[in-house]
Amino acid sequence: MNTLGIIGGTGLPGFDGLQLQRRETATTPWGTPSGPLLRGRIADRPVVFLARHGAPHTLAPHAVNYRANVWALREAGVREVIAINAVGGIGDEYPPGCLVIPDQLIDYTWGREHSYCGGAGRVLQHIDFTTPYSAALRERLLRAAPRAGLEVIDGAVYGVTQGPRLETAAEIDRMARDGCGIVGMTGMPEAALARELELDYACCAVVVNRAAGRGEDIHGELERWVESGMAAVRRLVQAVLAETVE
């Protein structure tokens, strides 16, 4: 049976409902991952959970060792990964609280270790990244949503910024002109690294605020959207796993 990897982002340092079997400390040729791999079962299926920012949340988006994280998951037997990312909504169609399964991304990050090529004896590869997310895994997320009693939005361009600061209003306007619907800081290079290792990778984005200059966010609302959004994500992941055919 396939082991599903789950990378939890802001608001998801652990996974309620995970029946923990082992905490595994991994080392990789690329350094150490953000934290221990939590191996266990959800809906009676094998999973490995990793908190992207560490638990407690200490690693900033640019300081995450994405290469070690993705490598460690693969070494742990994972072949498909659902990545959970908190994001801001740029378009009106992505209000706080909604879940989005993006189908495209634009990478605005810089200076991150973004490839395995040229290290640890790995040959140069020009991966096909035309469609950055696995169509099959996206489909499973979308199909699971109604069974979990959730509405999720099918498709968006996820613009990935460097952070850790939020964007200026002009930067968000530019991203909107580029076609971005949502903005976050952790979607890359994770997705490309997963493709280099031939993992099936899809993202479930949780909109927790309106992007800069796109309307008022009421102080204190963000935590509320993070909490309710991550509760919805847990239901969605459980529904995906409950449907998995061996």
Give the footprint of ligand HPA on this chain (CB under 6 A).
86-88, 161, 166-167, 183-185, 208-209, 211
Q: Please, how many CA atoms are within 13 Å of residue 55, restricted to the half-sphere of its CB?
A: 16
CB of 172: closest distance to ligand HPA in angstroms? 8
Q: Which is nearer to ligand HPA, 53 or 67 (CB)?
A: 53
Q: Which is nearer to ligand HPA, 18 or 183 (CB)?
A: 183
- CA pair distance 180, 174, nearest whole angstrom: 9
CB of 47: closest distance to ligand HPA in angstroms? 24
Q: Which is nearer to ligand HPA, 40 or 213 (CB)?
A: 213
Which residue has the CB atom at the shortest distance from ligand HPA? 88
- CA pair distance 189, 109, nearest whole angstrom: 8
- Give the list of residues 6+ apart from residue 29 with CB closer than 8 angstroms, or none: 71, 119, 120
CA 11 to chain centre: 12
CB of 168: closest distance to ligand HPA in angstroms? 11
CB of 82: closest distance to ligand HPA in angstroms? 18
- CA pair distance 199, 218, nearest whole angstrom: 39
Q: Which is nearer to ligand HPA, 77 or 215 (CB)?
A: 215
Q: Two tokens at 72?
A: 């460690």
